[in-house]
Amino acid sequence: MYDKVFTAEAWQQAWDVVQSEFLMGLWETFYVTVVATFFAVLLGLPLGILLVCGDKDGVFPLPKPVLSALNVIINLLRSVPFLILMIMAFPLARLIVGTTIGTVASIVPLVIAAFPFVARLVESSLREVNPNIIEAAQSMGASPFQIIMKVMLPESVPSLISNITIALTTVLGYSAMSGIIGGGGLGKIAINYGYYRYKYLIMLLAVVLLVILVQIFQSIGTRLATKLDKRLKNR
Amino acid sequence: MIEIRNLTKTFNTSDGAVEALKNVSLTIHDGDIYGIIGMSGAGKSTLVRCINMLERPTEGQVFIDGTDMGALSQKDLRKMRRDITMIFQGFNLLMQRTCLKNVCFPLELAGMKKADAKKRAMELLEIVGLPDKANAYPAQLSGGQQQRIAIARALATEPKVLLCDEATSALDPKTTHSILDLIKDINRKMGITVIVITHQMSVVEEICNQVAILDGGVVVEKGNVTDIFAAPKSDAAKRLVFPEGFDAPVVESFDNERRIRVVFNGADAAGTPLIARMAVEKGICANIKAASTKTIGGKAYGNMLLGIPGDREVLDQAMRYLTAVEDVVAEEVND
């Protein structure tokens, strides 16, 4: 399959596509990823907080059935393969965006796939907060809301940023998949040329760009997380 | 005044119910530095957490200045907690906030204006001797410095009671001493009642005036620190006061030797080289087989096991000599 990939003709074709479509593809991928992650965090963050605080030892224990229901819903959504979730989300996409095809429409299944994941990541970040610090805040008369806003979230900022970076790169990977059902971006370019028209070089170039994008997201996230962590000495 | 009445706390664990506290009653007067001492697992931490209702007692009540802590609504309890603050073994500072912001934290919770909170926090940093660390983060500070910041934070809301949960257990002896000095100072100058939870007798010795000894969730002894040190009655108290052992002879017995236990009950320690004087004046060369004594406020407390060579008459002579000294009790040991 890869024997005739790097011919002069292939390079010429690829260059044309790079010039005409890659910039738009890159923008669409970036835009979809960031917007979808934003909404996923918007839904996932409070859900993650609820999972931690609603625990029986949490700052405002929820009735056990409520907590169990939340866990089941999250696990259900997390276990549906993304490709199938995209199709299942068609009605919802039509309801919210008005269509099931296109870049904007692909944000809907991405958010549905990512927010339970984000909830779990937020949950693990918040569980890292030293329970003794929470107890200290309680001993000073902090309300559950104050504990969340002034202790748990600020104390876990570095970990939250690391985990949201993970979510961002995962959503980026999912967004490439949405090319199959008409989502835009680099994924669509890779699938259209590589899968449907056997232009493997174009596919490879699109993938290289995706890899670079992941690298950039990851290194920004890592740097930000370290920079904001005041537990690290000598800064 | 803090009154703990018949407090019982039972934890339900997977291995069944565990009684951490059994029918504990204590009265702590305003201005006291009250030590609660016991080995690990004796229930000290549970007891102190029941005072500010971080743990809900299973039975019994806690009254602070007449207010039944258990009967307060959540909101009133939170307000009350500004008057009963706490410091911890692990300091428990907010690691992502500067020291100044850490001290501001309880004031923020209470809804004080930012500028006012900052001003008050700076004053407190002065009191604990770390005004230059205002903009440093806790991770940049030593353990002793972190505890000072924690003390400043605990004092921010002008509490009436300060609870210290093993506050010096993670610190070296020198730092422990300086932190205890600070606590003593705060107690004296601000009139704050202090409750000190510890497993170290040295801490109680250094700052407390009252002490309760907790063993297996039960208060086995309580009272003035000097009284408990002078004559520990319970086994737990004896273990704590004389961790080297109460009666165990260090030197093997000779044949033809009788033993006397000498108990010092606050005898004038400085002026009486008792055993040496007995040797010179009576010609009785006692063999010190075990000794466990402490000096508290210039007085000797504790006991000593003497081996007296010779017959019955020598022994009686030694007994008469020793008992003649004020605050010294002597008894023959037969086993």
B250 within a domain of the structure (yes/no): no
CB pair distance less than 8 Å for A140 and B140: no
- Indicate if the pLDDT at residue A106 is higher than 60: yes
Which range has the worst mean pLDDT, A8-22, B199-213, B276-290, B291-305?
A: B291-305
- Indicate if the pLDDT at residue B231 is higher than 90: no
Interface of A with B in 38-97 (CB under 8 A): none
CATH of residue B263's domain is 3.30.70.260
A55 within a domain of the structure (yes/no): yes
CATH of residue A85's domain is 1.10.3720.10
The domain boundary residue, chosen from B241, B267, B286 = B241
CATH of residue B107's domain is 3.40.50.300
Same domain, B278 and B207: no
B48 within a domain of the structure (yes/no): yes
The domain boundary residue, chosen from B241, B276, B297 = B241
CA distance B213 to A165: 52
Residue B318 has a pLDDT of 86
A216 within a domain of the structure (yes/no): yes
Same domain, B230 and B300: no
Residue A61 has a pLDDT of 92
Return the DSSP state at B54.
Answer: S
**Higher local confidence (pLDDT), A106 or B232:** A106
What pLDDT band is residue B310 in, cutting at 50, 70 and 90?
A: confident
**Higher local confidence (pLDDT), B285 or A52:** A52
Residue A162 has a pLDDT of 96
**Higher local confidence (pLDDT), A113 or A6:** A113
Residue A219 has a pLDDT of 96
- Over residues B151-177, the pLDDT tens digits come to 999 999 999 999 999 999 999 999 999
Full residue range of the structural domain in which residue A170 is found: 8-228
Same domain, B222 and B264: no
Mutate to test the interface with B, among A130, A134, A140 (most CBs of B within 10 A): A140
Nearest CB among B79, B86, B94 relative to A155 is that of: B94
Residue B247 has a pLDDT of 56
Same domain, B221 and B262: no
- Indicate if the pLDDT at residue A235 is higher than 70: no
Full residue range of the structural domain in which residue B68 is found: 2-241
Count of domains forming chain A: 1
The domain boundary residue, chosen from B214, B241, B268 = B241
A46 CA to chain B: closest CA distance, Å? 21
Q: Say how many C-beta atoms besides its own lie within 10 A of residue B302's C-beta.
A: 22
Residues of A in contact with B82 (CB under 8 A): 140-141
Same domain, B154 and B43: yes
Interface of A with B in 145-164 (CB under 8 A): 146, 150-151, 154-155, 157-158
Tokens at B282, concatenated: 């009576």
Q: Say how many C-beta atoms besides its own lie within 10 A of residue B152's C-beta.
A: 27
Which range has the worst mean pLDDT, A168-172, B10-14, B279-283?
A: B279-283
A2 within a domain of the structure (yes/no): no
- Over residues B239-283, the pLDDT tens digits come to 887 766 655 555 555 667 788 888 887 777 556 678 888 888 888
Residue A133 has a pLDDT of 96
- Over residues A24-78, the pLDDT tens digits come to 999 999 999 999 999 999 999 999 999 999 998 899 899 999 999 999 999 999 9
Chain B positions with Cβ closer than 8 Å to A:
52, 54, 77-82, 85-86, 88, 90, 92-97, 105-106, 108-110, 137-140, 153, 157, 163
Contact of B75 with B20, CB cutoff 8 Å: no
CB pair distance less than 8 Å for A140 and B139: no
List, as one string, the DSSP characters of B201-220: HHHHHHH-SEEEEEETTEEE
Contact of A130 with A151, CB cutoff 8 Å: no
Q: If you average pLDDT over residues A182-194, what whole number do you get?
A: 87
Residues of A in contact with B151 (CB under 8 A): none
CA distance A38 to A204: 28
Q: What percent of chain B has pLDDT over 90?
A: 61
CB pair distance less than 8 Å for B94 and A151: yes
B249 within a domain of the structure (yes/no): no
B282 within a domain of the structure (yes/no): yes
CB pair distance less than 8 Å for A141 and B79: yes
B237 within a domain of the structure (yes/no): yes
Residue B250 has a pLDDT of 52
What pLDDT band is residue B297 in, cutting at 50, 70 and 90?
A: low
B318 within a domain of the structure (yes/no): yes
Same domain, B234 and B263: no
Q: How far is CA A215 from the centre of its chain?
A: 15
Count of domains forming chain B: 2
Residue B153 has a pLDDT of 97
Residue B219 has a pLDDT of 94
Same domain, B193 and B295: no
A182 CA to chain B: closest CA distance, Å? 44
B226 within a domain of the structure (yes/no): yes
